[in-house]
Structure 1
Amino acid sequence: MKNDDQNEDLLFFQEMADVQKLSDNNQVVYLKNQHKTAKAQDPELTQPENILTTGFLDIVECTTPLEYKQPGVQQGVLDKLRQGKYPLEASLNLLRKPVETCRQELFSFFLQAQAHSLRTLLVVHGRGRHDQSHANIVRSYLAKWLKQLDQVQAFSVAMGKDGGAGACYIALKKSAEAKQENWERHAKRSR
């Protein structure tokens, strides 16, 4: 019995000998199947000017959860988003980064999400202990910036498993291509 355990351990270590640790500095994680990405243009080549502003900022109190929906978006969409019922397709980590870096990375992340027709995103911004903390400043800017992006339908504080008050879910509008696919799928059913 003991010899079998030793053999299993030896086999395990032989199989794992060439395994290397993944890099810890990944900023963007894509979770969606990338089969359609060949059609999408590279956003780096045609990246428009960053529209996110860093001017006047209304500080969002630490106790106030981030939450917003565009006019015309049903309350059920926001409720499902808040409950984490939409599958996350990508995430961005903004922890401990300067505000300007956060602004640039968020805009680039948003363009990439649009290029890949992603709908549900997670942004980790951190949680401050007081209203003037760096994490709460980034969080307040994030609330401002997301409202400046027309494609953002809604955003809400994340569930505990995804970062809780230190993260937020973002729901994007469907791309024109996704709307067309949806229309065609439903048109075939109605025939």
Structure 2
Amino acid sequence: MGQANHDDEDFRALMADVRPLRRTTNRADPGRRCPEPSEAQLARRLSAAAEGEGRDFLSDDFVELIAPFDPLAFRRDGIQQAVVERLRHGGYPVQASLHLLRRPLTECRGLLPAFIREAYAHDLRSVLIVHGRGREIDSPPNVLRSYLAKWLAAFDEVQAFVSAGQSEGGLGATWVMLRKSPRARAANRERQQKRRG
């Protein structure tokens, strides 16, 4: 008897007591409904939504760690490379800054959305986030730095971000360029029309 026949017999012996599922129990019952949530469940959901408003898209499940000496860089389509270079070299003033040094990751995750949205609401364009940088890839400052790169790219308000120059904190700080708010765009159009006459 060949090896293939022996393997086939072994498989049949192992599967001798296996029975196929009945077709009626193999499907979800469309007639069965989930019970309505209780008032307490609804209240907890509302509370969780209010507490985490603006952060649910900031996942801290998994991030690809960035090497400690690799600079951060991101820009959306339509943003000129010259703007990013000017940002990298401190060509824009620091309009606001957020210091995340030595803060737990969960606290940073909570502070970042409020900071970005408040800066955007006040028509700020260039902000600086100081986060630190460790020497090891899995050091807490470097983990935060890696998450920060992931989180910032998730904000619609963020057009670009790059690691800061040495005078602003080097790889331990990140420049962020925010898009113009509708109010700022309207004011800019008005200024340009006045200049043209």
- The interval holding the TM-score normalised by the smaller chain is 0.7 to 0.9
Paired residue for 1:49?
Answer: 54
Q: Deviations over 1:113-138 (max 9, x none)?
A: 11211110000011110100000000
Task: Encode CA deviations 1:53-89: one digit per residue, 9 max, x unaligned.
Answer: 1122111111210111111110011000001000110
Runs (5+) with no aligned partner, structure 2? 1-49
> Which letter does structure 2 place at the counterpart of 1:106?
L
Answer with 1 or 2: which has the greater Rg. 2
Secondary structure at 1:121 match in 2:
strand
Q: For residue 49 of structure 1, report the CA deviation from its aligned partner.
A: 3.1
Q: Following the alignment from structure 1 to structure 2, what is the Cα–Cα distance between the partners of residues 49 and 187?
A: 36
1:100-123 CA distance string (max 9 Å, x none): 101111111112111211110000
TM-score where L is the length of structure 1: 0.74
2:108 counterpart of 1:102:
yes
- Contact kept in structure 1, 2:116 and 2:157, CA below 8 Å: no
Whole-angstrom CA distance in 1 between matches of 2:84 and 2:126: 12
C-alpha distance in structure 2 between counterparts of 1:111 and 1:159, whole Å: 24
| Mapping 1:2-41, distance limit 5 Å | none
Residue 64 of structure 2 aligns to which amino acid in structure 1?
D
Look up the match of 1:85: 91
Amino acid at match of 1:49: G
Deviation at 1:140, TM superposition (A): 0.1
More displaced stretch, 134-143 vs 109-118: 109-118
Preserved CA contact (<8 Å) 2:128 2:174: yes
Residue matched to 2:12: none
Q: Name the SS of the counterpart of 1:97 in structure 2.
A: coil
Moved over 2 A (4+): none
Deviation at 1:48, TM superposition (A): 3.6
Q: Would the aligned equivalents of 2:65 and 2:143 in 1 still touch at CA under 8 Å?
A: yes
1:165 partner SS? helix
| Code of the aligned partner of 2:60 | T
User: How big is each residue's C-alpha offset from its partner over 1:139-184, in whole Å with a ceiling of 9 and x where there is no partner?
Assistant: 0000000000011111111111211111010000011000000001
1:162 partnered with 2:155: no
Partners of 2:116 and 2:109 in 1: how far apart? 11
Q: 1:176 aligns with which of 177, 182, 187?
A: 182
Aligned residues: 147
Q: For residues 70-149 of structure 1, what are the structure 2 equivalents within 5 Å?
A: 70-149=76-155
SS of structure 2 residue aligned to 1:169: strand
* Greater helix proportion: 2
> Equivalents in 2 of 1:147, 1:111: separation in Å?
14
Give, in whole Å, the separation in 2 of the partners of 1:132 and 1:169: 22
Whole-angstrom CA distance in 2 between matches of 1:150 and 1:49? 11
How far apart are 1:52 and its partner, in Å?
Answer: 1.4
Distance 2:181 2:121 in 1: 9
TM-score normalised by the chain length of structure 2: 0.71
